[in-house]
Amino acid sequence: MQDIKQTVDEVHETHLDEKVEALRSNIDDISEDVQTWQLPEKDTYLEALESLRGHVGEIESEWDTVSATMKTQRERLESLLESFPGVIETSSIRALALRLTHLEGLVSKLVEEANAKATTSTTRKQLIISLMALGVTVVLWGAFIGLNFFG
């Protein structure tokens, strides 16, 4: 539970706020530089910068909304953790138990496959030995009959 609270507390909204403010400052500086240019395309640059400034304003307002939502969700999570600390631990234990059961099933299937392969290999070897013994027996009987018949 402490780990979850620590993770929630580590989320900082100020980092993005600082970046948005730095971006706004850079756009203002660039806008001032463009206004001092003596170029015929000056209006096009100014329009682009004004459009960019509008987008930054939209980003800032969206960030404020996201920040407020995160704050609300953090408060809900903290109240849930304080009210029902065992719920999260129980769900984690259930998830681990399901994973363990699944792994046990996989291991038993792998053991069964290994046993089946070993049995098949042994059976194949026994068949080869039996066929060789039958072949040797037939050759010896043939030699015995041939020697008795011709001898």
Instruction: Pull the structure tokens for residue 90.
Output: 């129980």
pLDDT of residue 142: 94
Q: State how far the Cα of 13 lies from the Cα of 10, in Å rounded to an integer.
A: 10
Residues 6+ apart with CB under 8 A from 99: none
Taking residues 80-105, report their average pLDDT.
76
All structural domains of the chain, each given as residue ranges with its CATH number in brackets, are 2-83 (1.10.287)
Q: State how far the Cα of 86 lies from the Cα of 69, in Å rounded to an integer.
A: 26
Using one digit for the tens of pLDDT, what is the confidence trace for 67-78?
Answer: 778 778 878 777
Hey, is 134 helix, strand or coil?
A: helix
Using one digit for the tens of pLDDT, what is the confidence trace for 5-64?
Answer: 555 555 555 566 666 677 767 777 776 766 666 555 666 777 777 777 777 777 777 777
What's the one-letter identity of residue 94? R
pLDDT of residue 15: 62
